[in-house]
């Protein structure tokens, strides 16, 4: 099972542990990170804050958002919480307007919120299909539509969507998840072409197997089999995904758009 955006890392909301930190000056920029209450979203938010961005944390769980915000502030960063259901258009519009009003601008959007409801196709319910597509694909669409307006006015923006290798090669038991992530790749490339003339880039990061509580629950034997499939012979770390996002949101990445950066240890080649 391929896992990424919304799986909590053990001991969260602790700081991202990265022994060789990439440094990008994001001072004065405002970044929105969805699914920021745990897992990859938390790591991405902490990484952007550590590089100077004021981070707007978005997720449904207000308590967990507050904990992540407190950890960022304790480390010297700037963060504000904005609870939101990313699948609801009115909520997304209101939250983006609130972020822009409170923080004054909107420079970076990272669409990371996502869910899995895994089962084989013959057993998948309509509700399991709809829930995954609503969060993983409709959510990024709603946030990009809302965030593109202030970005176009400023003639600057960076959008990064967290996809998955499941959306590139498929994965048994994840027809809903794989479809949502494949759709997100197509959406990313189209939005990139629409917004490039306004100096807004739009790219995707596609994680492979990333260390998390969920992957740990697979047990040592299955994890060993997973690692055998990965040429790097290990799972990825949350900070490695966060740093790929950081690279794409950097001002110097202005000529990189409509791309999918695969971070999977060489698994899909």
Residues assigned a catalytic role: 177
Helices 238-249 and 39-50: crossing angle in degrees, nearest 10, is 50
Question: What per-residue string of b and e applies to 42-63 under the rule 16 or more CB within 10 Å gives b?
Answer: bbbbbbbbbbbbbbbbbbbeee
Q: How far is CA 121 from the centre of its chain?
A: 26
The DSSP code sequence of 94-134 is HHHHHHHHHHS---EEEE---------GGG--HHHHHHHHI
Whether residue 116 contacts residue 63, with contact meaning beta carbons closer than 8 Å, is answered with no
């Amino acid at each position: 099972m391929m896992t990424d955006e919304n799986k909590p890392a053990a001991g969260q909301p602790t700081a991202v542990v990265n022994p060789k930190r990439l440094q990008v000056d994001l001072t004065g920029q405002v970044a929105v990170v969805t699914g920021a209450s745990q897992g990859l979203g938390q790591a991405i938010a902490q990484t952007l804050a550590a590089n100077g961005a004021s981070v707007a944390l978005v997720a449904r769980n207000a308590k967990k958002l507050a904990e992540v915000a407190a950890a960022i502030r304790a480390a010297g960063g700037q963060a504000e919480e904005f609870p939101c259901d990313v699948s609801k258009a009115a909520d997304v519009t209101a939250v983006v307007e609130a972020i822009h009003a409170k923080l004054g601008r909107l420079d970076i959007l990272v669409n990371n919120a996502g869910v899995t409801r895994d089962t084989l196709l013959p057993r998948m319910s309509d509700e399991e299909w709809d829930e995954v597509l609503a969060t993983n694909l409709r959510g990024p669409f709603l946030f990009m539509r809302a965030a593109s307006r202030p970005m176009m006015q400023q003639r600057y923006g960076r959008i990064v969507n967290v996809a998955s290798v499941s959306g590139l090669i498929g994965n048994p038991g994840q027809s809903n998840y794989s479809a949502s992530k494949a759709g997100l790749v197509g959406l990313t490339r189209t939005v990139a072409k629409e917004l490039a003339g306004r100096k807004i880039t739009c790219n995707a990061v596609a994680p492979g197997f990333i260390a998390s509580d969920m992957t740990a629950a697979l047990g040592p034997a299955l994890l060993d089999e997973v690692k055998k499939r990965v040429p790097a012979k290990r799972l990825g770390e949350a900070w490695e995904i966060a740093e790929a996002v950081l690279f794409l949101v950097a001002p110097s990445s202005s000529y990189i758009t409509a791309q999918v950066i695969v971070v999977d240890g060489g698994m899909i080649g």
